[in-house]
Chains A and B, each alone.
Chain A
Amino acid sequence: MRLSRLPMMSSLLLWGLLWEAVGRAELVPIVPPLTEVVVTFGRLLGTETFVAAVSTSLVSFALGLFLAIVIGIPLGVLMGRVDAADRLLGLWVNVFASAPLTALVPVLMLLFGLGSTTVVVTVVLFAVWIIVLDTRAGIRHVSPSLVEMARAFGASRAAVYRKILFFAALPEILAGIRLGFIRAVKGVVIGQLLVSIIGLGELFELYSRNFLMREFWALTLGLFVFALVGSAAIGLLERRVEYYAASRG
């Protein structure tokens, strides 16, 4: 365990050192030394504008991801269980899951205005499709004999969904939420960048326009860490249920 972790950590260290060296040597004007970026991040955490921007973004992010989950899971279940729904929606879900959705954000601005609503809708639009697809795949992989078993022992239709299908598909549903989480981070940044007057998007715009590279990288690094830590946390949950994904046969 520790041995297998070591190379990963040491490679991070190596790349960090390289970044530091490039920054110190002042080779590229847009790359300040890593240590200065980290110090800047610490300083930013204490400023009111930063905290306000982060909380605005977090609210949009959380709301968007929440909506993506409560829309995505039922839609995925529907597509997994009902062939007609699958044929009707499958094409669109697949198109949206792989389409460059950024192009749609300006249209969303027309519809929802230059505010948080547009950002939330962007987050939903980024995150929801992969949740739908993974949930659908999970439902399709549920062993038919488990469903038969529940019916044979008198399960109602609702009980089959609640007690069998949901739990049997949980590994895939969690994988979908983990990927949705990462896409939602993209969604919130892109949404705010394009709307550009709120949250982290406003800060990104401000920093890059004024060439505040330390602040810019501090923000970027912070986002990366957030996305990685968030998906790793969901990954931990996944590991708790993966034993039964393997044992489903």
Chain B
Amino acid sequence: MTPHAVEVRGISKSYGGEIQALRDITLEFPRGELTTLLGPSGCGKTTLLKIIAGLIQPDAGEVLVGGRRVTGPGPERAFVFQDFALMPWATVLRNVGFGLELRGTPRGEREDVARRYIEEVGLLGFEHRYPHELSGGMRQRVGLARALAVNAEVILMDEPFSAVDEQTRRKFQEDLLQLLAQEKKTVIFVTHSIEEAVYLSNRIVLLSRRPGSVSRIIRTSFDRSGSPDEIRRAEAYLDTVEEIWQLLKQYLV
């Protein structure tokens, strides 16, 4: 087994033959780590994530998952969407089980699995509610449970907390870290928030402005054993945030 859950090699992508979104991106995503793609808006980080998901075809380059080349979506990867992408006509239970439903898992079995993950993300009791009855934060918990329910090795998260208010986001980040510690997933996480990236990640990939290319990879190395509030006050955490801010500042007008 390769040590990397996901590798991208020489990925380039342009839109309409004119706007180059990504230029020659080569990256590895180590197994069991949370890697953040961080960069200014329009740097193509979401495009890169969707290429890894198999939702967008690159113009050049290849994506390897578990050492095997992939050209489309596959069961080893699950996606968490920025706008949640829940089916408004379906209950929480059906939404969470939807990935399994598409795979033809029998109803009873997929509902058992769905219930387990609904509990894990803290939505016990909301199984039969509809998305419009939930708050933004709860909706994204449904999105996360859906991604966990298919038992994919790699979870791709596209700015999952950007449509959620600040307090909810912090709580959600803490819960996410806890969940991932249990589930041992490889996570690729897109965000434009430096604090979020530093707080959540093992590695942070800084992308330059369009056309996006890898400008720097930073490994966070501060002590995570403390409480979330201690981490957010720790000097190493604050230093990393500051370091990234200094690097990203050059891309701002």
Contact = CB atoms under 8 A, between A and B. Distances in A.
A159 B102 contact: yes
B79 A149 contact: yes
Interface string B63-88: 00000000001110111011101011
Interface residues of B, number: 27
B103 interface: yes
Tell me whether chain B's interface is mostly helix, strand or loop, or mixed.
Answer: loop
A100 to B, nearest CB: 38
B89 A241 contact: yes
A247 B131 contact: yes
B148 to A, nearest CB: 12
A151 B56 CA distance: 11
B81 A248 contact: no
A241 B88 CA distance: 10
Contacts of A244: 88-89, 130, 132
B131 A152 contact: no
B132 A149 contact: no
B73 A154 contact: yes
B144 interface: no
A168 B86 CA distance: 11
Which residue, A143, A146, A149, has most C-beta atoms of chain B within 10 A?
A: A149
Which residue, A143, A150, A152, has most C-beta atoms of chain B within 10 A?
A: A152
A175 to B, nearest CB: 16
Contact of A150 (B83, B102, B103): B102
Contacts of A241: 89
Contacts, number: 65
A153 B98 contact: yes
A145 interface: yes
A167 B132 contact: no
Interface residues of A, number: 24
A151 B55 contact: yes
B146 to A, nearest CB: 8
Interface in B87-102: 87-89, 98-99, 101-102
Contact of A154 (B82, B102, B131): B102
B83 A154 contact: no
A46 interface: no
A50 B218 CA distance: 84
Contacts of A152: 53-55, 73, 77-79
Given A153-B73, A167-B89, A244-B88, A148 B81 contact: yes
Interface in A73-106: none
B88 to A, nearest CB: 3
Contacts of A170: 89
Interface of B: 50, 53-55, 73-75, 77-79, 81-83, 85, 87-89, 98-99, 101-103, 130-132, 146, 150
List 9 A-B pairs, minimum CB-CB distance, nearest first. A244-B88, A149-B85, A153-B99, A152-B79, A247-B132, A145-B85, A247-B88, A152-B73, A167-B89
